[in-house]
Amino acid sequence: MSQAETFDRVKKVVVDQLGVEADTIKPQSTFIDDLGADSLDIVELVMAFEEEFDIEIPDESAEKILSVQDAVDYINSKAAASA
């Protein structure tokens, strides 16, 4: 899966979970500061990423996913490892 495909799918999850406009989501957007997520939103986002991409994200990894690009990079690394 390409970076662009992963970004588009991550963006869709973020729109669904946070109710933000798709055009406000950039790779560098942080979930808390830029997109207005709180700690519960972050937990729900991680669960939604796990479901969307059929992966497991351990808590220690989830704590490091602070931006949209962090999510894309992590998901692509998991996909590459399982390929």
Q: Which residues form the catalytic set? A: 38
**Distance set, CA 34 to CA 18, 21, 23 (Å):** 11, 12, 13
C-alpha 46/C-alpha 61 separation (Å) is: 10
- Look up residue 74 and give its two tokens: 């992590």
Residue with token string 């991550």: 10
